[in-house]
């Protein structure tokens, strides 16, 4: 038996996937949506898995600050420098030494695919969850990311 809660958010962002060829080589934007599900085998003394409002606020704040109205690029993408030099908000995936920055959550993910974005947001949600009052054993169960109405990726981290 397990209890599950889901919080959702949306953001507007551009990306491109030059390694794939075809139309994804061109810089283009999507209205992305994400749904983060947290599960726990038992409820906290407050009768919650985790408090919806607190988790949602943390997640929304991170997404709005780092992804919304920005461009998600691979760190080796040739567009990184021209876009940042002209004042565009850029979030780099797969930086070799991201240090203690927001981009650390995209470490090891070379390109901003829908799948990589689901892993990124899983890591962000995991780091938010550990700071919040929650049920014993509460964990990120699955993260869904949708780039279009028709394209969805789901990441389910292994139980540890
Ligand atoms: Zn796309």
Annotate 31-52 with DSSP letters as a single string. Answer: EEEEEEEEEESS--TTS-SB-H
Please tell me the distance between residue 69's alpha carbon and the centre of ligand 1 in angstroms: 14
Q: How far apart are CA 108 and CA 75, in angstroms?
A: 11
Please tell me the distance between residue 68's alpha carbon and the centre of ligand 1 in angstroms: 15
Asked if pLDDT for residue 45 goes beyond 80, the answer is yes
Please tell me the distance between residue 21's alpha carbon and the centre of ligand 1 in angstroms: 12
Please tell me the distance between residue 156's alpha carbon and the centre of ligand 1 in angstroms: 21
Domain ranges of the chain: 3-155
Q: List the beta bridge partners of residue 9.
A: 34
pLDDT confidence of 1, banded at 50, 70, 90? confident
Return the SS3 of 127: helix
Tens of pLDDT, residues 62-107: 999 999 999 999 999 999 999 999 999 999 999 999 888 999 999 9
Please tell me the distance between residue 47's alpha carbon and the centre of ligand 1 in angstroms: 40
Residue 80 confidence (pLDDT): 97
The CATH homologous superfamily for domain 3-155 is 6-pyruvoyl tetrahydropterin synthase/QueD (3.30.479.10)
Please tell me the distance between residue 35's alpha carbon and the centre of ligand 1 in angstroms: 18
């Amino acid at each position: 038996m397990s209890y599950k809660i889901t919080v959702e958010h949306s953001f507007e962002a551009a990306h491109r996937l030059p390694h794939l060829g075809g139309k994804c080589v061109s810089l283009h934007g999507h209205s992305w949506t994400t749904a983060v599900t947290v599960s726990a085998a038992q409820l906290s003394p407050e009768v919650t898995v985790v408090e919806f409002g607190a988790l949602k606020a943390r997640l929304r704040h991170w997404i709005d600050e780092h992804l919304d109205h920005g461009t998600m690029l691979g760190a080796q993408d040739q567009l990184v420098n021209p876009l940042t030099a002209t004042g565009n908000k850029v979030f780099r995936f797969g930086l070799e030494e991201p240090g203690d920055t927001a981009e650390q959550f995209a470490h090891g993910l070379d390109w901003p695919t829908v799948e990589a974005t689901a892993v990124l947001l899983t890591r962000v949600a995991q780091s938010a969850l550990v700071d919040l009052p929650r049920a014993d054993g509460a964990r990120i169960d699955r993260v869904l990311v949708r780039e279009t109405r028709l394209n969805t990726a789901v990441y389910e981290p292994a139980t540890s």
